[in-house]
Amino acid sequence: MVEGNRSRRSLSLLLTGATLSRLGATVSPLAVSFAVLDEGGSVGRLGLVLAFELLPVIVFTLLGGVLADRYSRKKVLISSELLRSLSNMILFVWLLIVPPPLYVFVTVQVMIGVGVALFQPSSFGLVAEVVGREGLQRANSYLYIVRSAAGIFGGILAGFMITYLGPAFTLSFAGLTYLASVGVLSRLPLASTVAVIFENGTLAQLRDGWRTFRSMRWLWSVDLFAMVFHLCFMAPFQVLGVEVAKVRLGGATPWGFVLAAFSVGQLSGSALISSSQKVKKPLYVGVGILFLSPFPLIALSEGSSIWVLVVFTFVSGVSVGVFSPLFDTALQSTLSKEILSRVSAFDFVLSVASLPLGLAVVGAVAEAVGSSWVLDVGCLVTLLACVSVLSLREVRGFEVPPS
């Protein structure tokens, strides 16, 4: 009973910390985006700035996976939150004093990216520490529900704050949410280290994680699909969507409602999974529903009204909200806790590796061939990639191992 109460308390604290962290992660990039455009930056410059947040994610997440498996995941999480808080506060102060040059935006984005690189594998591995294998699907669903709720509130709040207070004070709010997350995560009653002694060095541990990752064909196949998803859907949606919002939809406030619609969809999809029985074929269900994900690009391309865009974005969010907890559960239930963070780091790096490239070039490509062409092709390629990954027997037939 005592252990059960401790597990519930730990899960509650983890959910609260995740909510605050996602709130900051929702508000911050929107504030940075409009700060760049308000300072006269082009859509190409905006894409470049956003890309520099993800470049250190690609570089340092593997190291973050080793740290998470070797040391205290709780301490790594707290360090990442402090770094992201400091980054937002630096840009907040700079915007108050003088318009920041490009290198300031880039430096701050790099610092935030390092924070994300530390956060992701530790957060992923911590779930398996807090709950048993039987509770993974529900715990992951709860995590995506609270993160989506934070995304809903954060998207709307950021839109209003940017409109009426400006990007600078919006960034200060993001910094404070990360500090609040630190206060919550510091109360997690967990052991200081994972219960394993590492005799090999960092590179050897990385090789162990890579060998395990490489042996799981279903995992890297889904990750290759995720690369296409981020390159062809997420990058155009983030960069060209902001441009459309500023030029045609009325600015930050309506775009905040679009982002909130995506989060409402994620919440709805994750809630559906949390209330359902254990899904025996999570990849077949999760990847299959992602057929619904890329259609907001068509709404942006065709100049649809804000409400049509909101509906399409909501449906896209539902598909992601179903896929994400199912995929996380599949990975967490397959691996031991001692290697989970390292393998999840390889998974995360490969799946998002294309996003910095997409963010960096999508603006320039759109300026050369037109935004509508980029949006239409992005939707088509995403759909074809979904068909391709579902054609693999390892993906279609994957079943969650018994406890």
Q: Is residue 141 part of a domain?
A: yes
Q: CB-side exposure of 118: number of CA atoms within 13 Å?
A: 19
pTM over 0.85: no
Report pLDDT for 133: 61
- Considering the chain, what percentage of its residues have pLDDT values greater than 70? 90
Q: Show the tokens assigned to 335.
A: 């691996």
Q: How confident is the model at residue 328 (pLDDT cuts 50, 70, 90)?
A: confident
Give the helix, strand, coil percentages of the chain, each rounded to 5: 85, 0, 15
Q: Show the tokens assigned to 192.
A: 């200081």
Q: How many CB atoms lie within 10 A of CB 71?
A: 15
Q: Is residue 319 part of a domain?
A: yes
The per-residue pLDDT for range 213-244, each reduced to its tens digit, is 888 898 889 999 999 999 999 989 988 887 77
Residue 351, pLDDT > 60, answer yes
Distance CA 334, CA 216 (A): 10
Question: Which one is predicted more confidently, 121 or 315?
Answer: 315
Q: How many CB atoms lie within 10 A of CB 204?
A: 12
Contact 228, 381 (CB under 8 A): yes
Q: Which of 16-25, 68-77, 366-375 has the lowest mean pLDDT?
A: 68-77
Contacts of 376 (CB under 8 A, 6+ apart): 297, 298, 301
| Diameter over CA atoms, the chain | 64
Residue 195, pLDDT > 50, answer no
Q: Is residue 401 part of a domain?
A: no
Q: How many CB atoms lie within 10 A of CB 334?
A: 17
Highest mean pLDDT among 9-23, 132-146, 166-180: 166-180
Q: Is residue 105 part of a domain?
A: yes
Q: What is the mean pLDDT of the chain?
A: 82
Contact 267, 149 (CB under 8 A): yes
Q: Is residue 45 part of a domain?
A: yes
Distance CA 389, CA 370 (A): 29
Report pLDDT for 315: 95
Q: Show the tokens assigned to 114.
A: 């390092």
Q: Show the tokens assigned to 236.
A: 């155009």
Whose CA is closest to 67, among 121, 135, 26? Answer: 121
Q: Show the tokens assigned to 400.
A: 């969650």
Contacts of 186 (CB under 8 A, 6+ apart): 74, 78
Q: Is residue 403 part of a domain?
A: no
CA distances from 253 to 163, 236, 317 (A): 7, 19, 19
Task: Tell me the CATH number at 103.
Answer: 1.20.1250.20
Q: Is residue 402 part of a domain?
A: no
Distance CA 327, CA 283 (A): 6
Q: Is residue 11 part of a domain?
A: yes
Q: How many CB atoms lie within 10 A of CB 123?
A: 22
Distance of CA 185 to the CA centre of its chain: 19
Contact 53, 262 (CB under 8 A): no
Distance CA 2, CA 106 (A): 48
Q: How many separate domains does the chain show?
A: 1
Helices (H), 71-193: 73-97, 102-130, 136-164, 167-185
Q: Give the domain range for residue 250.
A: 2-396
Distance CA 91, CA 106 (A): 10
Contact 185, 78 (CB under 8 A): yes
Question: Which one is predicted more confidently, 124 or 17?
Answer: 17
99: left (phi over 0), alpha (psi -120 to 50) or beta: beta
Whose CA is closest to 68, among 392, 363, 374, 343? Answer: 343
